[in-house]
Amino acid sequence: DGAEGVKRADIVFVCTHVEKTIELLPALADDAPVECTVTDVSGIKAPVVEAATVAFNSPSAAHFVGGHPLAGKAQGGFENANANLFEGKPWVLTPTPQDPVDKMRRLNLLLESIGARVELLSAEEHDRTMAVVSHLPQLVSVALMLTAGGRHRGLAGSGLMDMTRLASSPAPMWNRLISRMRPEVMGELQRMQSYLTELEMSVGFDEPLDKWFELSNRARAALADQSVDSKDRSA
């Protein structure tokens, strides 16, 4: 019985899509003991944290903190489970100033014990960032696969395979995520389209692409440096 299990739990992870997570929060607030920490794994944080603020507002309610592991696989199910899935990967938590220090420390220690790298962001900052680092790559991967599909003649190398890995992701999950973040995702798509237009014009006029490669090389190096810095901070 899930409800009975919650009543005895120290930490509860809600691992379902954002709408179902929001639906479950009032019952979890009723069933979880006051010393329990409830967290989730939804890819959108602002609406979940807003709903949790209402559901867990009683002094006798458990503690809730939003969470989002930035690790996953294109295919789900137990048959695709991987014990090392979170090793070295970011796990975002969205605490508030009111969160108890001891409960946050306990959750941090659990996440670090499975190899995750805990990062703290506000719910709003998380959602803006996800539009860039998660939602945009997903849609770009789909567009690239649709462009290349049926024309690679068995000659696709690691570049195409790596860049289209996300094209195998399940549509229902992404429908829900992107629908809730349409303005942010639209803004990032338009930003990318402007770069594609610039590249198209450079190719069309046979202009050297050095400028674009230099800019992207510097941006990629900065991205790699930030990743190393984050790993060092969590070590």
- CATH code for position 134: 1.10.3660.10
In the chain, how many domains are there?
Answer: 2
- Predicted pLDDT of residue 84: 92
Q: CA 74, CA 88: separation in Å to the nearest integer?
A: 18
Q: How far apart are CA 128 and CA 56, in angstroms?
A: 25
**Does residue 84 share a domain with residue 170?**
no
Structural domain ending residue among the three candidates 102, 121, 140: 121
Indicate if 12 and 71 belong to the same structural domain. Answer: yes
On whether both 94 and 181 belong to a single domain, the answer is no
Question: Where is the domain boundary, 69, 102, 121?
Answer: 121
pLDDT tens string for the chain (235 positions)?
A: 677 889 999 999 999 989 999 999 999 999 999 999 999 999 999 999 999 999 999 988 999 999 999 987 767 778 888 889 999 999 999 998 888 999 999 999 999 999 999 999 999 999 999 999 999 999 999 999 999 988 878 888 999 999 999 999 989 989 989 999 999 999 999 999 999 999 999 999 999 999 999 999 999 999 988 765 655 554 4
- Comparing CA positions, the residue from 67, 120, 115, 121 lying closest to residue 235 is 115
Indicate whether 67 and 113 sit together in one domain: yes
pLDDT at 150: 81
**Cβ neighbours for 133, distance < 8 A, ≥ 6 positions apart:** 70
Sheet holding 117-120: strands in order across?
A: 11-14, 37-40, 63-69, 90-94, 117-120
Q: How far is CA 26 from CA 5, 48, 54, 58, in A?
A: 16, 12, 9, 11
Q: Are residue 62 and residue 157 in the same domain, yes or no?
A: no
Q: What is the pLDDT of residue 77?
A: 78
End of a domain among 72, 96, 121?
121
Question: What domain range is 177 assigned to?
Answer: 126-234
Residue 109 is which amino acid? L
CA–CA distance, 203 with 198 (Å, rounded to integer): 9
For position 45, which CATH number holds?
A: 3.40.50.720
Looking at residue 1, its pLDDT comes to 60
Please state whether 81 falls in left (phi above 0), alpha (psi between -120 and 50) or beta. Answer: beta
Give the separation between CA 203 and CA 186, rounded to whole angstroms.
25
- Please indicate, yes or no, whether residues 76 and 171 belong to a single structural domain of this protein: no
Same domain, 76 and 148: no
> Cα separation of 140 and 166, whole Å?
9
Q: Which residues pair with 13 in a beta bridge?
A: 39
Residues 51, 152 share a domain:
no
Q: Are residues 107 and 133 in the same domain?
A: no
Q: Look up residue 45 and give its two tokens.
A: 């944080």
Same domain assignment for residues 14 and 29: yes
Q: Is 100 found in the same domain as 195?
A: no
Q: Do residues 80 and 181 both lie within one domain? A: no
The answer to whether residues 93 and 105 touch, using CB atoms and an 8 Å cutoff, is no
Query: What is the structure's pLDDT at 152?
Result: 79
The single-letter DSSP state of residue 135 is I
